A and B are shown apart, each in its own frame.
Chain A
Amino acid sequence: MRIAIIDESATRASIIEDGLAQLPDSEIFILTERKGLVPRLEAIAPDVVLIDLGNPSRDVLEEYFAVSRALARPIAMFVDQADDEAIAASIDAGVSAYVVDGLSAHRIRPLLDLAIKRFNAFARLQADLAAAEGKLAERETIDRAKRILMDSKGLSEPEAYAELRRKAMSSSRRIAEIAEAVVTAHDLLGDGA
């Protein structure tokens, strides 16, 4: 089975490739470039095409498939109605699949399941990364707030932190929110330094 993965994110494409490598008798092709997509795809002659939902080339691809119906190996959208559940799951995961007409469902299902798992895994990685970045930004804000309190009230660093913590507890908010408020107030009211 010849599988083409179209994804402008090279990282995600390789995560999916890793997952699909366990499928027997499969050859995987990764296409990350928008330019020249159709000729490359024609040269690969895939049985299955996987493309992420956020890919701007999807309409171009569907146009090519529509035209390809006249060709020897027409590609249809993977929307065999019997498999509607699988399609719904793939759309939820953010991937769309197209298969050559006549490829049997029992060969497609495992492939699609793996692709979905890999897409979900990538989404989790992204979420973790975003959370980590958020934490980092919060830490910077807290450091700035501590500095402001230390300078304006002559506190030591542990005292400044204790102040932020006390205010957070008494107003049942997070320390990061209090820090944010201190920084904003300082920017608004401060000497502009």
Chain B
Amino acid sequence: MTEKLTVGFLPLADACLPILAHEHGFAEEEGLALNFQRDVSWATVLDRLLYGHTDAAHLVAPLAIAATLGRGRPAQPLAVPFVLGLNGNAITMSAALAGRIARSGKFEDPRELGAGLASEVAARKRAGSKLRFGVVHRYSSHNYMLRYWLAGCGVRPDEDVEIMTVSPPFVADAYASGEIDGACVGEPWNSLAVERGVARIVLATAQIWRRGVEKVLAVRSPVLEARRPAFEALIRAMRKAGKHFVDPENWDGNARILARPEYVGGDPALIRRAISDRLVLRQGGEPVHFPDFMFQHSEAANFPWVSQALWLYSQMIRWDRTPFATGEAAAAAAVFRPDVYRSAMQDTDDPLPGASSKVEGSVAQLTSVGTQQGVITLSPNTFFDGDSFDPEKLEEYLARLP
């Protein structure tokens, strides 16, 4: 019997896995018929998920935790059985700002760029103004990555600069009208701003936290329990889509599919840049290869590590300025569901980690990790400042953050 699932998404390159699972027949192979609901704000993606217009949603990871904890609205438990990808976002700056502090014309060194930015921020302060940065949502990894980097470079995100919310498709407009000096968003919206000549790409978020968790597939917890086989089938279909997605043979075809107006829309050439890890950093520039700019499949990239959820929670209380609470931390951790992922993938030849949590930022070289099945070698997952996050020592971590 075919099970129908409706998936909500925002037009971004990292909505690719459910879309390609549908387009290439992987969902059908697993007995699923997928429908899609395209929206233009995360608030609407979340509303449609909570009120049953959709069964699952492409969502910014911290928002799944915020909804579960009841931040900004009454609590509704969400579950994340699958991470849609790691990294894949960039930091851009207006041509004027980049011209002063981003001199290399390549992906900059995060520490050097941060030092340049700190002196720029100080100069602005003396002149009585603040730089303005756009992020896509208060509860987004974009916001947390940007803030982590700023704070690590001595720039206080709430005092020294202004951080505002900008919908991804309008980032280029916000640059053009002078509303923002910098931004952290997903693709293809950085590339669009570059193409319009209003901004330059200066950093990849992978340079701030390599292998950092990005979008997730979110489901209402009671719905996940009620339709467990259907969601496990979706997980398997998306793993197959991921394998297809990372194969260079398929880059052109997949870029054309994603560029269709019912999905991301726009120019396939722009979408291909993120898919192929080859970004054009400034208008008219040559593509620059940044390996693993977007990381959607290998090294069990879709496995929902509980430590990822807890890192997001650490940043949530850091920037919401709320105290650490054991019960809340446990609820945040429980949003990520490695048990569901495992149950979906056991009896396949896909490798499965043996643990459900790891010390984030601790792997500085290729490391083999214990597995339940198969072999997994994790690449470095460092934070730019060399710190690491041990989920067992969350309070110690919070205490030493700048």
Binding site for B on A (CB under 8 A): 34-35, 53-63, 65-66, 77, 79, 81, 87-88, 91-92, 96
Q: What is the bound-complex CA distance between A28 and B227, given in angstroms?
A: 44
Q: Is B48 an interface residue (CB 8 A)?
A: yes
Residues of chain B from 1 to 45 with CB closer than 8 A to chain A in the complex: 39-44
Contact at A59–B165, with CB atoms within 8 Å? yes
For the complex, what is the distance from the CA of A96 to the CA of B44, rounded to whole Å? 9
Residue of B48, B73, B169 touching A77 (CB-CB under 8 A): B73
* B74:A81 contact, CB within 8 angstroms: yes
Main secondary structure of the interface of A (DSSP, over half): helix
Output the least CB separation between A32 and chain B (Å): 16
Q: How far is the CA of A56 from the CA of B43 in the complex (A)?
A: 9
The tally of CB-CB contacts under 8 A between chains A and B is: 61
- Note all chain A residues with C-beta closer than 8 A to B51: 87-88, 91-92
A63 adjacent to B164 (CB under 8 Å)? yes
Find out whether the CB atom of A58 lies under 8 angstroms from the CB atom of B166.
no
A-B contact pairs, 8 of them (CB 8 A): A35-B177, A53-B39, A53-B44, A59-B42, A59-B43, A60-B164, A62-B138, A92-B53
Q: Verify B177–A60 contact, CB threshold 8 A.
A: no
Which one of A35, A56, A61, A79 contacts B73 once the chains associate, using CB atoms below 8 Å? A79
| Cross-chain contact B42 with A53 (CB below 8 angstroms) | no
A81 contact set on B, CB distance < 8 A? 74
Query: Are B167 and A77 touching (Cβ within 8 A)?
Result: no
List of A residues within 8 angstroms of B167 by Cβ: 56-57, 59-60
Compute how far the CA of A60 lies from the CA of B171 in the bound complex, rounded to whole angstroms: 12
Q: Which residue of B lies closest to A78 (CB)?
A: B73
Which residues on B are within 8 Å of A, measured CB to CB?
39-44, 47-48, 51-53, 72-74, 136-138, 164-167, 169-170, 177
Question: Given A56-B169, A87-B51, A62–B177 Cβ distance below 8 Å?
Answer: no
Contact B43 A58 (CB under 8 A): yes
Closest Cβ of chain A to B88, distance in Å, is 19
Which residue of the partner chain A has the closest CB to B163? A63
Q: Is the CB of A60 within 8 A of B47?
A: no
Point out the residues of chain B lying under 8 angstroms from A77, CB to CB.
72-73
How far apart sit A88 and B47, CA to CA, in the bound complex (Å)?
9
List of B residues within 8 angstroms of A88 by Cβ: 51-52
In the assembled complex, the CB of A141 is this many whole angstroms from the nearest CB of chain B, namely 23
Q: How far is the CA of A73 from the CA of B39 in the complex (A)?
A: 30
- Could you tell me the distance between the alpha carbons of A140 and B48 in the complex, rounded to whole angstroms? 38
Question: Which of A56, A57, A91 makes the CB contact (< 8 A) with B48?
Answer: A91
Nearest A residue to B60 via CB reads: A59
| Chain A residues, CB < 8 A from B177 | 35
Whether A60 contacts B165 in the complex (CB less than 8 A), given A54-B44, A77-B72, A79-B74, comes out as yes
Closest to A53 in B: B44
In whole angstroms, how far apart are the Cα atoms of A65 and B72 in the complex? 9
Do B48 and A66 have beta carbons less than 8 Å apart?
A: no
CB <8 Å contact, B170 and A56: yes
Q: Specify which of A56, A65, A66 is in contact with B41 (CB 8 Å cutoff).
A: A56
Contact (Cβ within 8 A) A96 B40: no
Q: Besides the contacts A35-B177, A53-B44, A77-B72, what 8 more A-B pairs have beta carbons closer than 8 Å?
A: A55-B41, A56-B40, A56-B170, A57-B167, A59-B137, A65-B72, A88-B51, A96-B47
Residues of chain B contacted by A96 (CB below 8 angstroms): 43-44, 47
Chain A residues with Cβ below 8 Å from B48 are: 53, 91
Q: How far is the CB of A158 from chain B (nearest CB, A)?
A: 41
**Chain A residues whose C-beta falls within 8 Å of the C-beta of B72 in the assembled complex:** 62, 65-66, 77
Q: How far is the CA of A71 from the CA of B166 in the complex (A)?
A: 22
